[in-house]
Structure 1
């Protein structure tokens, strides 16, 4: 169960990432190629089922509040039809580094740049300006020109690993060049978009409500179930009731899923570190056994975020001559509770992903 004061962050699709824009590992985005941390190397992931190169789905910058590490998570999936909806065809990679490592890498690259010979005029008019241009040239700068809506997913982590609070802050943009990436030939790429972030409690109740009510009415008519409002009972907390006990497909979990996202049906991502996931189908009773402990330190993994059905319609290939197929109900990402990391590590750590199929594909297949 999530802590009582847990907050949920909502990710929404923002403007496309244009050719003139750049991104770094600080950037929350859909599609594109992953941005590696400085001095990192990536052995590009392949599908465990068919062996095809995976496509990059989302990148989330999500440092833990009590940690000194920058932290980015990249999610990949296989776009082949025979692998659609299968957990084995997805991969999640977590990358971390310290600010000192970024600075060291930047300093190392500046040392390799050959300084031009000093002219005699440098001793004259510009003598008092020594160092100013260099400092300005190496100061932190935004990774792109869209920082007004770029927020990071920042859960607060205390020594007992409890989720205390969540905050939305602009990621500090360090001046670090994009690492050289080597990819296999014909890597599939989804069209890139920025992701903006807001707290679920800040969503205007009137936002998209007309569309939400339409979807709910269609669902209720088709499934013969009326989704009732949550009602509070003193001493019992919030209980959810339904006019009929079962939908036609017998999935009350899906009905709850629809109710929860109706306030913001266009959400593409829900973030709640160490919180409770929103299941689209009934999870197995042995879910705690399904999610394995961290393969690096042996500690338990916790839920961190999930991808939502509205993301499916946004995943389009940048190549108009090729079609990339990726369908899912929701994708649940679980990561090491301690976010363990060995100093000096230069490659991402693989985390656990669980894919749930959409029990009612037609409901989410309409464009937003």
Structure 2
């Protein structure tokens, strides 16, 4: 698609993108035609020789002017339409304002107010913040000098209990900008004293670590790195059962726990921390339904695999003598030196090296 214009030599089709220049081109051509006619008439009229020269020069000036304007117009048009990049509205400048704290939480804990929050340093346009920042704490709308503790992206501080309503807010501040204040969290202190809980009991079970609480009531369980560690956010909150199995454990890793007692939303001081390394001390289930198929001096041993999920292979015995020291993953075995009366045994081995009871297989 395009439109056509006529010059002195040929018909040319311009692309659609140049259509805005149509009127300007036609104007120049029309003026050029007028100039030629005017010049011709003036040339016939010898008496107006002086007028001819002036008119010609004037028309030639306007023609050159319009040609120059056309070149400028076409140059701007080409820059606009053929420039590289993605067209669209210009993007706003990147934000330098930090995001505000969104999950400020408060509770009465161990005879104090405990205020905590998580914070991932981002700007309001969700870009990662790479500059230094700090938190400004406000207590009842006034700046409050708090000792701030940190673990990973969790921050917390303590304050003394007050019987009247007390509200806290947090603001994030950088060198260039500050966030809006977080939503206030408020609390009224309660006169409740709870004795320190007795230490919980911890033991290894097949699925993980079993925690037994020697108290009655409602509990928060905390999972920490070592005996001296503290963390404000419960691992399990509001438990009423006295037993809990933590299945989120890995072999040969050490885990530490403590708990608190809850009464009317007031939390006791923490119990002593107990730790345990999780080890797999439980043997897998043995294989089942073994059969022996005899063909002259060749015996084929077949069986159904162990139902335990952590089995890595099987060890075979012939007349109580071990055949393979390393567990192999197979559900059959062939002995090319069978003699009547030979007895075979198969045991399952798990990831921790625990061995099942032996399955006896004989003719």
Q: TM-score, normalization: structure 2?
A: 0.17
Q: Which has the higher contact order (CA 8 A, sep 6+)?
A: 1
Q: Which has the higher strand share?
A: 2
Larger Rg: 2
Q: TM-score, normalization: structure 1?
A: 0.17
